[in-house]
Structure 1
Amino acid sequence: MALYNAPPNGYEKLQIFRLLNLNIENSVIKKFIDETYHIENEFICQLDPAKFDTAPEYVVLECDRILQETI
Protein backbone atom coordinates (compact mmCIF):
# COMPACT_ATOMS: atom_id res chain seq x y z
CA MET A 1 0.00 0.00 0.00
CA ALA A 2 2.87 2.38 0.75
CA LEU A 3 4.28 1.92 -2.75
CA TYR A 4 0.83 2.37 -4.33
CA ASN A 5 0.12 5.54 -2.33
CA ALA A 6 3.55 7.11 -2.95
CA PRO A 7 3.24 8.34 -6.58
CA PRO A 8 1.98 11.89 -7.09
CA ASN A 9 -0.21 11.01 -10.08
CA GLY A 10 -2.76 8.43 -11.15
CA TYR A 11 -0.75 7.12 -14.10
CA GLU A 12 2.03 5.85 -11.86
CA LYS A 13 -0.50 4.43 -9.38
CA LEU A 14 -2.11 2.44 -12.20
CA GLN A 15 1.27 1.01 -13.23
CA ILE A 16 1.81 -0.20 -9.64
CA PHE A 17 -1.75 -1.52 -9.42
CA ARG A 18 -1.15 -3.50 -12.60
CA LEU A 19 1.85 -5.23 -11.02
CA LEU A 20 -0.36 -6.54 -8.21
CA ASN A 21 -2.18 -8.76 -10.74
CA LEU A 22 -5.46 -8.77 -8.80
CA ASN A 23 -8.61 -10.49 -9.98
CA ILE A 24 -10.69 -7.54 -11.19
CA GLU A 25 -14.36 -8.16 -11.96
CA ASN A 26 -15.14 -4.69 -13.32
CA SER A 27 -14.50 -5.04 -17.09
CA VAL A 28 -14.02 -1.29 -17.63
CA ILE A 29 -11.35 -1.01 -14.95
CA LYS A 30 -9.74 -4.25 -16.14
CA LYS A 31 -9.45 -2.84 -19.68
CA PHE A 32 -7.86 0.39 -18.42
CA ILE A 33 -5.34 -1.53 -16.33
CA ASP A 34 -4.53 -4.33 -18.77
CA GLU A 35 -4.58 -2.49 -22.08
CA THR A 36 -4.86 1.27 -21.96
CA TYR A 37 -2.21 1.82 -19.32
CA HIS A 38 0.07 -1.02 -20.30
CA ILE A 39 3.55 0.49 -20.14
CA GLU A 40 4.66 -0.84 -23.54
CA ASN A 41 1.70 0.80 -25.28
CA GLU A 42 2.34 4.11 -23.59
CA PHE A 43 5.93 4.52 -24.79
CA ILE A 44 4.81 4.84 -28.42
CA CYS A 45 3.18 8.23 -27.94
CA GLN A 46 2.50 9.78 -24.58
CA LEU A 47 2.43 12.99 -22.65
CA ASP A 48 4.91 13.18 -19.81
CA PRO A 49 3.02 11.54 -16.91
CA ALA A 50 4.95 13.72 -14.44
CA LYS A 51 3.34 16.81 -15.98
CA PHE A 52 0.02 15.47 -17.28
CA ASP A 53 -2.07 13.02 -15.27
CA THR A 54 -3.87 11.16 -18.05
CA ALA A 55 -5.50 8.54 -15.83
CA PRO A 56 -9.23 9.20 -15.32
CA GLU A 57 -10.01 9.93 -11.69
CA TYR A 58 -12.82 7.36 -11.55
CA VAL A 59 -10.36 4.61 -12.57
CA VAL A 60 -7.88 5.58 -9.85
CA LEU A 61 -10.69 5.79 -7.26
CA GLU A 62 -11.95 2.34 -8.25
CA CYS A 63 -8.41 0.93 -7.94
CA ASP A 64 -8.18 2.54 -4.49
CA ARG A 65 -11.46 0.86 -3.53
CA ILE A 66 -10.36 -2.54 -4.86
CA LEU A 67 -7.12 -2.36 -2.88
CA GLN A 68 -8.93 -1.37 0.30
CA GLU A 69 -11.26 -4.37 -0.04
CA THR A 70 -8.35 -6.72 -0.82
CA ILE A 71 -6.16 -5.74 2.09
Structure 2
Amino acid sequence: MHQAVVRLSGGRLGRLRRWLDEAGHRPETVLWFGESPTDVSGDTHAFGVEFVNAWIDKHLDMPSEAVGE
Protein backbone atom coordinates (compact mmCIF):
# COMPACT_ATOMS: atom_id res chain seq x y z
CA MET A 1 0.00 0.00 0.00
CA HIS A 2 2.76 2.44 0.94
CA GLN A 3 4.62 1.86 -2.30
CA ALA A 4 1.43 2.32 -4.33
CA VAL A 5 0.64 5.64 -2.62
CA VAL A 6 4.18 6.97 -3.08
CA ARG A 7 4.24 5.84 -6.72
CA LEU A 8 0.87 7.43 -7.46
CA SER A 9 1.77 10.73 -5.78
CA GLY A 10 4.79 11.23 -8.01
CA GLY A 11 6.56 12.99 -5.16
CA ARG A 12 3.92 15.71 -4.80
CA LEU A 13 2.76 16.26 -1.24
CA GLY A 14 -0.77 17.34 -2.18
CA ARG A 15 -1.25 14.18 -4.21
CA LEU A 16 0.27 12.10 -1.43
CA ARG A 17 -2.26 13.50 1.04
CA ARG A 18 -5.19 12.69 -1.28
CA TRP A 19 -3.97 9.16 -2.03
CA LEU A 20 -3.43 8.52 1.69
CA ASP A 21 -6.96 9.72 2.42
CA GLU A 22 -8.27 7.44 -0.33
CA ALA A 23 -6.29 4.52 1.09
CA GLY A 24 -8.00 5.03 4.43
CA HIS A 25 -11.46 4.96 2.86
CA ARG A 26 -11.06 2.69 -0.16
CA PRO A 27 -7.78 0.78 -0.16
CA GLU A 28 -8.87 -1.38 -3.11
CA THR A 29 -9.01 1.76 -5.29
CA VAL A 30 -5.46 2.75 -4.38
CA LEU A 31 -4.21 -0.76 -5.04
CA TRP A 32 -5.97 -0.85 -8.42
CA PHE A 33 -4.41 2.46 -9.51
CA GLY A 34 -1.04 1.68 -7.90
CA GLU A 35 -0.62 -1.77 -9.41
CA SER A 36 -0.97 -3.06 -12.98
CA PRO A 37 -4.48 -4.51 -13.15
CA THR A 38 -5.16 -7.36 -15.54
CA ASP A 39 -8.74 -6.32 -16.30
CA VAL A 40 -7.76 -3.33 -18.49
CA SER A 41 -5.05 -2.49 -21.00
CA GLY A 42 -1.89 -0.75 -19.86
CA ASP A 43 -2.86 2.35 -21.84
CA THR A 44 -6.28 2.51 -20.20
CA HIS A 45 -4.73 2.11 -16.76
CA ALA A 46 -2.11 4.82 -17.45
CA PHE A 47 -4.85 7.16 -18.66
CA GLY A 48 -6.83 6.54 -15.46
CA VAL A 49 -3.85 7.33 -13.24
CA GLU A 50 -3.06 10.50 -15.20
CA PHE A 51 -6.71 11.56 -15.12
CA VAL A 52 -7.03 11.12 -11.35
CA ASN A 53 -3.74 12.90 -10.66
CA ALA A 54 -4.79 15.82 -12.88
CA TRP A 55 -8.09 15.99 -10.97
CA ILE A 56 -6.20 15.98 -7.67
CA ASP A 57 -3.91 18.77 -8.89
CA LYS A 58 -6.94 20.94 -9.72
CA HIS A 59 -8.40 20.48 -6.22
CA LEU A 60 -5.31 20.91 -4.05
CA ASP A 61 -6.66 24.07 -2.39
CA MET A 62 -9.75 22.28 -1.06
CA PRO A 63 -9.75 20.19 2.11
CA SER A 64 -9.69 16.52 1.13
CA GLU A 65 -12.99 15.88 2.91
CA ALA A 66 -14.77 18.48 0.73
CA VAL A 67 -13.50 17.08 -2.59
CA GLY A 68 -15.35 13.77 -2.27
CA GLU A 69 -18.71 15.43 -1.55
Q: Please report the TM-score for the alignment, with normalisation by the length of structure 2.
A: 0.32
Identify, as 1 or 2, the structure richer in helix. Answer: 2
TM-score (norm 1): 0.32
